[in-house]
Amino acid sequence: MTQANEYVTATYIIETSQEIERAAEILAGEQSTGTFVRVARESDDVRARFAAQVTSIEELAPSGASPLPGSVGDPAARKRARISLRFPLSNFGPSLPNLQAAVAGNLFEIKELAAIKLIDLDIPAAFAERYAGPAFGLEGTRRLMSRPHGAMIGTIVKPSIGLSPAELAEVVGELCEAGIDFIKDDELQGNGPSSPLAERVRAVMPVIERYADRTGVKPMYAFNITDDIGRLKSNHDLVVAAGGTAVMACINMIGLAGVEYLRGHAEVPIHGHRAMFGAISRSEQLGFSFRAWQKLARLSGVDHLHTNGISNKFYESDAEVLDSIEAVREPLLDQRAIVPVLSSGQWAGLAHATYAATGTSDLLVLAGGGIHGHPGGAAAGVESMRSAWASAERGESVEQAITSSPAFASATQVFGAARV
């Protein structure tokens, strides 16, 4: 039962030329009871019951970055701080869209702020009463792909776009025979006329079913069903009717409400892709941190969530990636544990360093070019990944792994030295 005195606490890093306390109060007022001037009906009682409250301020060293466009004040007087605001749950209730409006609505446009980034959220149990969270999570995913232990090895179809459904089926057959756990469409491959979803499903699923009938192991293929919300159900049903065991949705394209709608209908795990995440996170001065955003994605119902991987081809540092993986693995309101998904520039030579840094094999490691670009072909790429991760889990050195696995050794000829 939701309690009237429950709160959401949001933590931000801000920069301002105002006094920090004044800027924090402006932020709290704008996102709750206040406007640019005190109005008659904003009584002390209303403020006591509904106003957001500043609960902590920690001044930080200035960043030295240019201020956001339109910000006001003397740049030489700019200060930086970590601040926390407490929002009464009664303002918006356990609703993810309305929570976002409160903690991440107009605040990015406040001209007194030269920078503002939401870095964490403390969400009360009332949200777990409203949102079921992941239906399958880590345990259900491992069960469906018959991989009870060890790193889950997967890939993205490459080239991302351009394969006919028949060519796709050939690639999938090769990957199945190589012992892959997971395959997914690229986020760029949706339901276009060159390779429609229905045709991909018709081409791929018989290949997977034949392999499963013969071996008793059914690799998971996450078809990208991202679309208008009104089409998510039919796209999902198309996959499930053909025997599919996963669907993929781009979280930022269909929104949290779209993910929650899909979760209410889904009979298979939802592979949550974070495409477009950089638009809301790459700047240190604006947007969301992954740590804050992933809580919203998990509550909405994804079973897998992309975190990026170390030595990636994108902008994030290893420290940022490792914090993202840790964040996804942390408990959230007693809901099921979900699967961190490592991708972007991954290959066999990163297995030992990743395992040493994370201390876990409860990861889905996706290698696109790292598998399809292997000199021995995709099957050898899968073998290089499998052998490298198994070696890391046994506590062997990289050198031992390379010596015992010709596929791993060949991979180093293309991708360079393995990380230790």
Token representation of residue 338: 């979900």
Task: Note the pLDDT of residue 2.
Answer: 44
Residue 10: strand pairing partners: 85, 121
Task: Note the pLDDT of residue 104.
Answer: 95
> Which of 103, 130, 157 finishes a domain?
130
Q: Residue 43: pLDDT above 80?
A: no
Q: Are residues 80 and 160 in the same domain?
A: no
User: What is the full DSSP assignment across 102-119?
Assistant: HHHSGGGG-TTEEEEEEE
Q: Are residues 144 and 83 in the same domain?
A: no
Q: Is the peptide bond before 75 cis (omega within 30 degrees of 0)?
A: no
Whether residue 2 is contained in a domain is answered as: no
Whether residue 366 is contained in a domain is answered as: yes
For residues 230-255, give the mean pLDDT: 98
Q: How many domains does the chain have?
A: 2
Q: Are residues 46 and 148 in the same domain?
A: no
- Any idea what the CATH number is for the domain that residue 86 is in? 3.30.70.150
Q: Residue 412: pLDDT above 90?
A: yes
Whether residue 118 is contained in a domain is answered as: yes
> Which of 86, 109, 130 finishes a domain?
130
Q: Are residues 164 and 59 in the same domain?
A: no
Q: Are residues 271 and 356 in the same domain?
A: yes
Q: Are residues 111 and 190 in the same domain?
A: no
Token representation of residue 38: 């005190």
pLDDT tens digit sequence for 266-312: 999 999 999 999 999 999 999 999 999 999 999 999 999 999 999 99
* 273 contacts 160 by C-beta, under 8 angstroms: no
Q: Are residues 19 and 102 in the same domain?
A: yes
Q: Are residues 375 and 231 in the same domain?
A: yes
Q: Are residues 38 and 185 in the same domain?
A: no
Q: pLDDT band for 50, please (50, 70, 90 cuts).
A: confident
> Which of 98, 130, 162 finishes a domain?
130
What span, in angstroms and rounded, lies between the C-alpha atoms of 364 and 205? Answer: 21
Whether residue 1 is contained in a domain is answered as: no
Task: Note the pLDDT of residue 30.
Answer: 83
Q: Are residues 291 and 409 in the same domain?
A: yes
Q: Whole-model pTM?
A: 0.95
Q: Are residues 164 and 303 in the same domain?
A: yes
pLDDT tens digit sequence for 94-117: 999 999 999 999 999 999 999 999
- Any idea what the CATH number is for the domain that residue 309 is in? 3.20.20.110
Token representation of residue 108: 């990015």
Q: Are residues 46 and 104 in the same domain?
A: yes
Side by side, the strands of the sheet bearing 113-122 are 53-60, 79-88, 7-16, 113-122, 286-288
Q: Which residues form the domain of 21?
A: 7-130
